[in-house]
Amino acid sequence: MKCYYSTHPEDYQGYDTQKLRDNYLIESLFCYGEVRQFYCYDDRLIVAGVCPQGTSLSLVAGKALGGLTFFSRREAAAVNLGADGVIRVGDEVFSLAYREALYVGKGEHDVSFESVEPSNPAKFYVCSAPSHHPYPVRHIGRSDVKKIHLGDPDTANERIIHQYIHPDVCPSSQLALGLTDLINASNWNTMPCHTHSRRMEAYFYFFEQDDTRVFHFMGKPNETRHLVIANEQVVISPSWSIHSGVGTRRYSFIWAMAGENQEFGDMDFIKTEDMR
């Protein structure tokens, strides 16, 4: 499990492009027949790509979790971005179609991932955070999510936010997760941008055309940098950093947060004229 360590905002000012990518970008998440896991020291978030083919796959606890099983003190949410898949939690079996999700609370249960057709595999994007309270397993279909329409065509940031793991949809200990679609001709995922010092965030970008790129802006508002993102890559966004992006074509992304609270409106907006 590769680890991504926390960085001080003053340290990152001296990073060149490659060091920015090494410290904040997960470039290769999915591999057929494998589990790929990444441990973020910012709020102890784990990001994983699970792509089962002929055999079932399970998340690996490893040394980073102190010898415990994966869900002993953790919760997780998995979103299927491939063909039909199955997640087994103990004796329960959950079928997940495209863009459906499953929440699994902490507990001593075995969890495994499968594809319905190995030749057309499921692709599970998984985010996990520490948990101190067991919440029940919950399947979240596309009709179960809470949808919020934000933005405006004049500012090129019109979008639909689909809240999957949120107090109004699915109770969790601290994890929050949703999926955002840019609509019409919009290409900014948020602008004006913001920070939320009580929560870190991970951004998973995905889109249809291979030559599409997203320019993800990060850093302190007065000391910004950017990363150029390809399909199915993840940006780790520390709580002190802005997180805003613009794409060469329409794209979608999954945001996941962990930290001190789950208040969707708990953010500090940055005036565009104050950015540097």
E strand or H helix at 88: strand 85-89
* CA-based nearest residue to 23, from 199, 238, 209: 238
Question: Binding site: what residues are annotated?
Answer: 194, 196, 201, 243
Question: Binding site for Zn(2+): what residues are annotated?
Answer: 194, 196, 201, 243
Separation CA 203–CA 84 (nearest Å): 23
Separation CA 20–CA 204 (nearest Å): 16
Separation CA 41–CA 238 (nearest Å): 10
Q: Any residues with CB less than 8 A from the CB of 216 and at least 6 apart, and which? A: 203, 205, 226, 227, 228, 229, 235, 243, 244, 245
- Asked whether the beta carbons of 195 and 268 are under 8 A apart, the reply is yes
